[in-house]
Amino acid sequence: MEELVLANLDSTVFDVDNLIENIAYKSTDGNVVNENFDPNLLESKFRQAMSILQDYQVQTEQNIKQLEEACEKERNTWANSVAQLEELYQSTYTGQQELEMRISVISTKVIQIGHQLESKSNPRQQLIDARTTAKYLERFLDANDDVSLMFQDASKLEQAAHIIHPLYNVLQELPDEPKFLDAKTKVKERYLAIEEELLLEFSRAQVRNDKKAMKKYIKLLSKFKGHNDCIQNFITDCLKVCQCILKRITSESKEIFDTYFIDFF
């Protein structure tokens, strides 16, 4: 009987009428009109089925209660976790704001220190440059010191360019007296030679399409008289390349180039 009742309860759709019919059929072997029909036996079977259903109900209610308690316990656990996370988030957020404020203060101090160092570093660097210029000026004024050879070393072109420019400017301010003429001549020769070498190195870098080297040499040339000529030659070369490309792709290259030239300048 218990198997019959539980089988009906476990079915997808529970049908009480179908359960009653199954109990009655099982109890009488399907023969309710037989003279041996025992109503007391049928009643007993129904009471037994009702007892099984009541026990099942009690067990189900206990299971439901246990599940509800487990859910409530888990809900409380997660609620506590969420509360802790919210507290941690608030603490972290506050800490982040304090850290950002400290970073801002430190950044401001770093900038201030940088400006202070720069204000002290620039005069110091100017003093170093002045001492370097004075040292080489003294050597050029010494007829027995062949210092100009150092300025012919191709591997020291950048260093020579930094030194020869202020040296050239200083000597230009000196009078054309015999004691200065030899030094002025040597420095001017080295100045022009270094300028020419810088222009040549820029051209080589342009041919190689070495933009980094081009940038370096154009910066070195910015203090020399040939700087403008270098820029002009570079622009001229660029225009020649543009004109060559236009000739290859269109028959109206002259008109287009003239318009481009006017817009450019």
Q: What is the chain's percent helix, strand, coil content, to nearest 5?
A: 85, 0, 15
- Spacing of C-alpha 68 from chain mean position: 50
At residue 64's C-alpha, the angle toward residues 63 and 66, to 5°, is 65
DSSP 10: T
Task: Retrieve residue 243's tokens.
Answer: 């004109």
Name the burial class of residue 141, with classes exposed (0-12), middle (13-18) and buried (19+) by CB atoms within 10 angstroms of its CB: middle
Reference 191, options 219, 146, 235, 223; nearest CA is 223
pLDDT band for position 29 (cuts 50, 70, 90)? low
* pLDDT score of 135: 82
- The gap between the terminal CA atoms of the chain, to the nearest Å, is 107
Q: How far apart are CA 257 and CA 188, in angstroms?
A: 41
When comparing pLDDT for 107 and 80, which is higher? 80
Q: Identify the sign of the CA torsion 127, 128, 132, 135.
A: positive
When comparing pLDDT for 114 and 100, which is higher? 100
Q: How far apart are CA 187 and CA 223, in angstroms?
A: 15
Residue 54 has pLDDT above 70, yes or no: yes
DSSP 174: S
> What is the pLDDT averaged over residues 47-68?
84
* pLDDT score of 73: 92
Q: How many Å is the maximal CA-CA distance in the chain? A: 159
CB of 34 within 8 A of CB of 28? yes
> What is the pLDDT averaged over residues 51-69?
85
Cβ partners under 8 Å of residue 211, min gap 6: 205
Q: How far apart are CA 148 and CA 184, in angstroms?
A: 12
* pLDDT score of 36: 64
CB of 2 within 8 A of CB of 52? yes
* pLDDT score of 32: 56
Query: How do residues 184-240 score in pLDDT, each as one tens digit?
Result: 888 888 888 888 888 888 888 888 888 898 888 888 888 888 778 778 777 777 777
CB of 37 within 8 A of CB of 28? yes
DSSP 251: T
* pLDDT score of 116: 72
pLDDT exceeding 70 applies to what percent of the chain? 71
